[in-house]
Amino acid sequence: MTTPNSVVSTDHVDLVRSGRYLLSDITLHIERGQHWVLLGANGAGKSTLLSMLGAFAHPTHGTVHVLGHQLGRVDMRELRAHIGHVNPRHRIDAPLTVRDVVLTGLTNTPEFVPRWAPTAGQVARADELIASLGMQKHADALWPNLSQGEHGRALIARALMAEPQLLLLDEPATGLDLAAREQLLTALDELRVAYPSLASILVTHHLEEIPTTTTHAVLIRDGRVIAQGPVTDVLTTGNISECFDHPIEITRQRGRWVAQTRVPETVG
């Protein structure tokens, strides 16, 4: 079901490759201003689902609407231009500055397109985004000289250059140390306040990497959704234990989630 506020809507979607169901019977509805976390163990189908929601893959069965367009009836490349995709494995080989990398978000390419140059207004917009993510002192720094955490925040700025309605974050805290992770999560929380109509989907398998501004959650196991809805309803000890097939106890402290193995009570 799609509504005027719909950003993503899937209806009984399957994705089959070589006779194997990578995704089965996926039905989701995400609206403007909602911030979802997609949780599951390694191999559960998280990145596969994100690739479909990001208009990189077609469903085998069922329908997928992204930004009001049905996959299979729209130019996928044109649609992707309106989606911000943050991938920490994004490869940059050219000796670009942070500002240059952020500006490539306008062309959705790893480096500048031949015979293309940004306008003064676009450069100003890039500097504004860089500053909003706490990276202003690194604007002229070369990409190889940055830390992994600085890469992550710069890639978020890059994804926002095209003013997307949907932001997809594929395990953005991968490889970050504790301080860098906390800086990234703070930046995401501030970003969501600054752009109230933006919708986002963050993929992770660590509950500690969920920003406090997350509104909804979907749990996936073996390619199937086992729970979805408001984050406080979904992230429970029972649901998480089922999702990861392990007895995990969930607690929440100052808006952040903590997970640890549930120790059986002893009878004495």
- For 58-93, the pLDDT digits (tens) are 999 999 999 999 998 999 888 888 899 988 778 888
- For 98-151, the pLDDT digits (tens) are 999 999 998 888 888 888 889 999 999 999 999 988 899 999 999 999 988 899
- The candidate with the shortest Cα–Cα distance to 249, out of 259, 235, 234, is 259
Would you tell me how many other CB atoms lie within 10 Å of the CB of residue 183?
18
- What residue ranges define each of the domains in the chain, with the CATH number in brackets? 1-82+165-236 (3.40.50.300), 89-163 (no CATH)
Q: Mind giving me the DSSP string for 134-148?
A: T-GGGTTSBGGGS-H
3-class DSSP assignment, residue 177: coil
The per-residue pLDDT for 267 is 54
Across-strand partners of 212?
none
- For 218-260, the pLDDT digits (tens) are 999 999 999 999 999 999 999 999 999 999 999 998 889 999 9
The per-residue pLDDT for 234 is 97
Burial 41-57 (b: 16+ CB within 10 A, else e): beebbbbbbbebbbbbb
Residues 6+ apart with CB under 8 A from 193: 213
The model's confidence at residue 1, banded by pLDDT at 50, 70 and 90, is low
Residue 226 Cα distances to 77, 134, 243, angstroms: 31, 37, 7
Tallying the residues shown for the chain, one arrives at 268
pTM over 0.85: yes
The CA distance from 142 to 152, in Å, is 14
